[in-house]
Homo-oligomer: A and B are copies of this chain.
Amino acid sequence: MKATTITGARVIDLRFPTSLHHIGSDAVNKDPDYSAAYCILETDGELEGHGLTFTLGRGTELCVAALEYLTKFVVGRTLDSIAKDLNAFYLEVTGDTQFRWLGPEKGVIHLACGALINAVWDLYAKAEDKPVWKLLADMTPEQIVAAVDFRYIADALSPAEALELLRRGKAGQAERLARLESEGYPAYTTSAGWFGFSDEKIRRLCHEGLADGWTKFKLKVGGDAADDLRRGRIVREEIGWKNRMMVDANQRWGVEEAIARTRQLAELQPWWMEEPTSPDDILGHARIRREVRPVRIATGEHCQNAVMFKQLLQAEAIDVCQIDSCRVAGVNENLAILLMAAKFGVPVCPHAGGVGLCEYVQHLSIFDFLGVSCTLEDRVIEYVDHLHEHFRDPVKIRRGHYLVPRMAGYSCEILPESLAEFAYPGGSVWRKMSEEKRLAGVSQ
C-alpha cells in the first residue's frame, strides 16, 4: 500500500433539483431533490478519498455539519494507522462521547459517519490500486472480521462463525469472478414506476425497459388502492408474467393496513413487497410477513444500523435484506450485515438509486457473491438511471446487469465540474434558479 497521510478534508453540500421532474417521487417522499453530504479527503500524495451520504435536499446541511466535525478523526492520520485496525477506527468515529447522544448510531450523525468511513475505504482501495470489491475479496477472513464491530451483534453472529463463513467463501472465488465478468451482476429497474408518473409514461418506460433487456421492474405503490392496482396491472400488461415485478410502499401503512393492502396487491404476484410499514417496526414486519405469505417482504433502505438488521433477521421479519451503502456507517457496518444475512440465509438486494448509491452498492454485492453468500440466487441490485453522468467511474449496465467495475476505489467520485455546478447554494445551477425566482418575484 502506498504510504499516505490524510492532510485535510473538504465537505460539500451537493444538491440536484430532481423534484422539478418528479424523479424519485413515491408515496411518502413526494418531492426529493437528490442530494449528498460529500467529503474529499486530501493527502500528502496524489490520492484523494471521496465519500458521500445520500439525502433528499433540505437537511443536507445537518449531515454536512456533522461530517465537518467527524473529519477530525481522520485529518492528520496515516492511512496505514486506520487500515491496521478498522474496527477501532469505526468505534472512534461512531462513538464520540458527546455526539453519540444524538443517536447512537442512527439518523444525521450516522449518515455522516457513512460518508466519512466510505471516503476512507475509497482512499484505502486507491492506495492498494484496487476497486473496493477486490480489496475486500483479497482480504483474509481474519482481516474482514477485524473490521466488524461485534459488540451488539455477537448474540446472532459470533466472530468465530463469521470467520468460518468467510473461510468457506474463499473456495471457488476465481470461478465466481469469471462468471460475473462474463454475465455481470443481475439488476432490476425502478425507473419505470415512480409515483408522479402518468399511466402512459409507466407504459412507455416498461416498454423501453424490456427493449433494453430488463426483466425485473419495481412499481411505487401506497396511494389510493384502486390506483395502485390499476398501475400494477399496466406494468403486468407490459412486462407479462414471466418477468418479475416488485412493489414498494415506502413505509406508507400501519401494520394492519399493510396486511390488507398487500393481500389486495397479491393478484399482481409481486416478487416482493417493499417497506410496507415503519422501518423501525421489526415485529410489525414479522407479523406482516406471516400474514401475507406467499408474498415476500423486503426492507432495509431506512434501517438505521446493524442492530436493527440483526433483529429483522432474528425475528424472521424479512425475505429480502436491502442494505444501504451510506445510511449505516459505511463498508464496516455493511460487512456485519452481509455476514449476518448470509448466516440467516436471507438474500441481500441492495437499495440503490439516489445519487451514488448504484456506484457504491455494486462493490458490496460483488463481494457478497465472491466471498460471503457465494450465490446469485434471488439476488438483484436496484438500478435507477439518473445522475450517473456526474461520476468519474459511473456504473455500467448491460441488458439488466451491472458490469464489474475496474477502476481503483469505491466509484463514488463526482466530477469536479459537477461539484462546482451543484454545490448548494453557491453552485451555478442553484444561483441560476435563485436568480430566475428573483426575476419572477418568487420569495424563497
Q: How far is the CB of A371 from chain B (nearest CB, A)?
A: 25
Closest to A301 in B: B101
Q: How far is the CB of A340 from chain B (nearest CB, A)?
A: 13
Q: How many residues of A contact B (CB 8 A)?
A: 61
Q: List 17 A-B contacts (CB under 8 A).
A: A29-B101, A58-B69, A59-B66, A59-B101, A62-B109, A106-B107, A106-B304, A108-B109, A152-B255, A152-B278, A152-B284, A154-B255, A155-B255, A155-B256, A280-B304, A281-B310, A282-B282
Contacts of A304 in B (CB 8 A): 106, 280
Copies, count: 2
Q: Say yes or no for A392: interface residue by CB 8 A criterion.
A: no
Of A30-38, A44-52, A206-214, which stretch is located at the interface?
A30-38
Interface residues of A in 247-266 (CB under 8 A from B): 251, 254-256
Q: Say yes or no for A96: interface residue by CB 8 A criterion.
A: yes
- Cβ of A102 and Cβ of B97 under 8 Å apart? no
Q: Say yes or no for A308: interface residue by CB 8 A criterion.
A: yes
Q: How far is the CB of A303 from chain B (nearest CB, A)?
A: 10
Chain A interface residues (CB < 8 Å from chain B)? 28-33, 55-59, 61-63, 65-66, 69, 96-111, 150-155, 251, 254-256, 277-284, 287, 302, 304-305, 307-308, 310-311, 314-315
- Cβ of B57 and Cβ of A98 under 8 Å apart? yes
Contacts of A97 in B (CB 8 A): 28-32, 56
Q: How far is the CB of A436 from chain B (nearest CB, A)?
A: 21
Known interface pairs A107-B108, A282-B311; A59-B152 also in contact (CB < 8 Å): no
- Cβ of A302 and Cβ of B65 under 8 Å apart? no
Closest to A58 in B: B98
- Cβ of B107 and Cβ of A110 under 8 Å apart? yes
Closest to A112 in B: B62
